[in-house]
Amino acid sequence: MELYFLGTNAGIPSLQRNVTSVALRMLEERRATWLFDCGEATQHQILRSPLKLSKLEKIFITHLHGDHLFGLPGLLSSRASQGGESPLTLYGPKGLKQYIEVSLGLSESRINYELIIKEHQGGLLFEDDKFRVESALLEHRIDSYGYRITELDKPGKLDDEELTRRGVRPGPAYGKLKNGESIETPTGMIHPHEVLGAPKKGRVITILGDTRPCRAAIELGKEADILVHEATFMHELASTAYDYHHSTAVQAAEIAAEAHAHKLVLTHFSSRYKDEVQLEPLILEARAIFPNTILAKEHEMVPIDRECDL
C-alpha cells in the first residue's frame, strides 16, 4: 500500500499546488485504489499520475467545502470513458447525494456504471475480510470527518518443516490451516496454532479532513502507521488557524505524538506558502515535536510500512 498525493493546497489552487485529494493505492491487497477528497482538477492530476480511474473502487469525502469536492462531477463523468465499468461507492456527509444528483442531472451527464452514494455520520462504514473503515466527526466550520482504514491481521507463516515432518504436502491442506481450520491426517489432527507463526499485523492509515485539534483526531490516529493531518498555517498564526477552524503544523505534530502514531504527513497548506522553501518552517516546527514527519508532495508516492518493518 502507498499514498499518492494529488493535491495539497488549502482553499484554492496555486501555480505550485492543486487543492486537496489523496489516493490510497492497494494494488497488491485488492487491485484497487481508494480516493480521499476530490478537489477541482483532480482528474487532471490523475492523468499525470500512475493511477487509473478504472481501478477506482471507493471515494471518501471528508466534508462539503469546494476545495474538497468540486472535482467530483467531472471525475465521475470521465471514469467510464477511461475503462471504469465496475461499481463505485462514494462516502461522505449528509448533502453529498444531493450535490452529485443535481450536478450530474443539470449537466445531463450519463454514468454507465453503478454509482452508490452512502451518506454517514461517522462510525463503522465498511468491513470485509481484508479492511475496515471507521469515521468520526472532527471540529470544523461544517461537518468534517476523519477516516481510519485498518488492514486486518493476516495469518502467520506456515511451518513447512513441521508440516513435512507430519506428512502434509503443499496443497488444499495448507489453505485450510491458513484459514484457521484444523485438518485430519493419518497420524492425527493438526490444529492451526501448532503450525502457524504469529499473525502478521495489519497496517492502519488515518486521513483527516479539515479540523482544529480535537479528541476525535487523536482517537482516529491512535497508533496509526501513517497519519495524514492538515497543517494550514505556521504556529505563529495559531489564532488565525483557530478562527478558521484549522490547525498549525505544531498542532498536527502534537496530535500525532499524543496518538502514538508512527509517521505524520502534513498537507493542506495555505497558498501563502508558495514553495518548499516557504514550507520548510512548517516541517521544522513539526519535527521539533514529532520527528518522523514529512511534507506531502504532489505526484510523490509515500509507502505505508508496518512499524515492525521500520
Query: Which H or E run contains 217?
Result: helix 215-220
C-alpha to C-alpha distance for 175 and 172, rounded to whole angstroms: 5
Q: Which cell is 59 given?
A: 471515494
Annotated binding site for Zn(2+): 63, 65, 67-68, 140, 210, 268
Residue 15 is which amino acid? L
Q: Nearest-CA neighbor of 275 among 76, 16, 10?
A: 16
In the annotated binding site, the residues are 63, 65, 67-68, 140, 210, 268
Instruction: Please give the C-alpha separations between residue 208 and each of 36, 146, 174, 301, in angstroms, as whole numbers.
Output: 9, 4, 40, 18
Annotated catalytic residue, options 37, 67, 225, 305: 67
Name the one residue in this structure whose C-alpha cell is 496443497. Answer: 171
Let me know how many helices (H) and strands (E) the chain has, helices first. Answer: 12, 16
Which class for 50: exposed (0-12), middle (13-18), buried (19 or more C-beta within 10 A)?
A: exposed
Count of CB atoms within 10 A of residue 233's CB? 25
Annotation says 160 is catalytic: no
What residue type is 95 in one-letter code? G
In degrees and rounded to multiples of 5, residue 49 shows phi and psi of: -125, 170
CA-CA distances (angstroms) from residue 116 to 86, 111, 131, 218, 238?
Answer: 11, 11, 19, 30, 39
Main-chain phi, psi angles of 213, to 5 degrees? -60, 135
Q: How far is it, in rounded angstroms, from Cα 283 to Cα 281?
A: 6
Q: Known catalytic residues? A: 67
